[in-house]
Structure 1
Amino acid sequence: MNSTKYILGIFDDPDDMMKGIDNLKEKGISIYDVFTPMPIHGIENKLGIKESRLPIAAFIFGCTGCTVAFCMLYYMLVHDWPMNIGGKPHFAVPDFVPICFEWTVLFSSFGMVFTYFYSNHLFPGRTPRVMDLRATDDRFVIAINAKTNYDHNQIDSVLKSAGAVEIKHNDRKYISYE
C-alpha cells in the first residue's frame, strides 16, 4: 500500500465540486487531483493544469518517420540498387512522397500510442490508482494530499461547507454528511 495519504471530498453534484475547488483555492489548500465520471468544461483552468505537449511529440514522431522513409528510399533506389524505370532519374523526389507520407502517419500513430501510455502510466503490469470507485460511476472526488496540507479540520470544514456528501481519510472510515 502506498504511504501517501489523501483526504477525499466526495460530491454528488459537479457544481458543488467546482464551488469546493474555489473554496479550497481561496484558503490556500493545494489540490492533488480531481476525479470525475464525465468531462467538465473549465476544470483544467481552475486546477492550473498546463496544456498537453502531446502534439509536439506527434510532430517529432512524424518528422522522424518521414526522415527514415526518405533515407531508406534514397539508399535503396539510388545507392544500393539503382534501376532505370522509364528513363526517370534515380533520385525522383515525387516518387518518394506517398511512401514518406505513409511512414509519417505510421510513426506518428505508434509513437503517440506509446507516449500516451508512458505519460499516463498505463503500461502493462501497473495497477490503476483509483481513489474512490464511485468516481467512475456517479460521484465527483477532490483528492487533497494530507502530508502537504496539515490542517485537516480546516479542510474538512471547507469541503463540508462546499456541499461534500462524504469526506474520506485513509486512516478513518467514511464520514457521511447526509
Structure 2
Amino acid sequence: MSNIKYILGHFADPDDLMHGIDKLQEGNVKIYDVFTPMPIHGIEDKLGIKRSRLGKVAFCFGLTGTITAISMIYYMLVYDWPMNIGGKPHFAFPDFVPIMFELTVLFCSFGMVGTYFFVNHLAPGRAPRVMDLRATNDRFVVAIDAKENPYHDKIDNILKEAGAVEIKHNERKYVSYE
C-alpha cells in the first residue's frame, strides 16, 4: 500500500480548474477539496457543497445576547433593586431596547469571531489546513484523496488533459508553516 494520501493538481487559471473538475467528475473521481487564492463563482455547486450554517449560528449568538440582556435587566431592576423613578413601572420595556440591541450585537460579533477562528483552524493549538502553500498565492489546487481513488495513473492523465501545470503526490496530510 502506498504512502500517498493526496494527489494535488495545480492549475494556473480558474477556467482550467473548472474544466479539470468537470473532467474528474466525468471520470468518477471523488474530489476531496479545492484550494484557491480567490473566490470562484459557481464552484460550490459544482463540488456539491451545501449552504453554510453560519447564519443560524449568528442567530443563536444574537438570541443568547438578547436573552442575557432581558435577564440582566429584569434581575437588576425588578427583582434585586426595584426603584420607583417618576412613577414608571419597574420593567419599562421601551427604555431597555437599546441595551438589548447592543448586547445582541456584542454577543453575535464575538461569537462569530470565535466561530470563524475555530472552523478555519486558526484557533491556538490547531494545525492549519493547507495542502500546498502556493494555493494561497497564485495556484488553484485540486486535492484528490488517494486512498478512495486507487487508480493514480488514470487521475494523473485526467489532470494533464485538463491543463494541470503540475501534479504532486502529497504524503503528508497538512503542511506546517515551520
Q: Give the TM-score normalised by structure 1.
A: 0.91
Indicate whether 1:36 and 2:8 are aligned. no
Shifted more, 142-151 versus 122-131: the winner is 122-131
* Aligned residue in 2 for 1:139: 139
* Aligned residue in 1 for 2:53: 53
5+ unaligned residues in a row in structure 1: which ranges? 172-178
* Aligned residue in 2 for 1:117: 117
Equivalent-residue separation in structure 2 for 1:33 and 1:147 (angstroms): 14
5+ unaligned residues in a row in structure 2: which ranges? 172-178
Please give the secondary structure, in 1, of the residue aligned with 2:98: helix
Shifted more, 47-56 versus 84-93: the winner is 84-93
* Aligned residue in 2 for 1:20: 20
Deviations 1:8-65 (A, max 9, x none): 0011111111000000011111101111111111111111111100000111111111
* Aligned residue in 1 for 2:97: 97
1:170 positional shift:
2.5
Equivalent-residue separation in structure 2 for 1:137 and 1:117 (angstroms): 21
Q: Give the TM-score normalised by structure 2.
A: 0.91
Equivalent-residue separation in structure 2 for 1:4 and 1:121 (angstroms): 23
Deviations 1:118-158 (A, max 9, x none): 22222112232321121111111100000111000110000
1:4 positional shift:
6.8
Which stretches of structure 1, 4 residues or more, deviate above 6 A after TM superposition?
A: none
- Trace 1:1-20 onto structure 2 (pairs within 5 A): 5-20=5-20
Alpha carbon RMSD of aligned pairs, Å?
1.3
1:113 positional shift:
1.1
Equivalent-residue separation in structure 1 for 2:93 and 2:170 (angstroms): 63
* Aligned residue in 2 for 1:73: 73
Equivalent-residue separation in structure 1 for 2:146 and 2:21 (angstroms): 16
How many residue pairs get matched?
169
Indicate whether 1:129 and 2:117 are aligned. no
* Aligned residue in 1 for 2:83: 83
Shifted more, 78-87 versus 151-160: the winner is 78-87
* Aligned residue in 1 for 2:156: 156
Equivalent-residue separation in structure 2 for 1:68 and 1:164 (angstroms): 53
Please give the secondary structure, in 1, of the residue aligned with 2:164: coil
Equivalent-residue separation in structure 1 for 2:95 and 2:109 (angstroms): 23
Equivalent-residue separation in structure 1 for 2:170 and 2:98 (angstroms): 57
Give the residue type in structure 1 aligned to 2:49. Answer: I
Equivalent-residue separation in structure 1 for 2:108 and 2:44 (angstroms): 26
Identity across matched positions, percent = 72
Shifted more, 83-92 versus 47-56: the winner is 83-92
* Aligned residue in 2 for 1:176: none
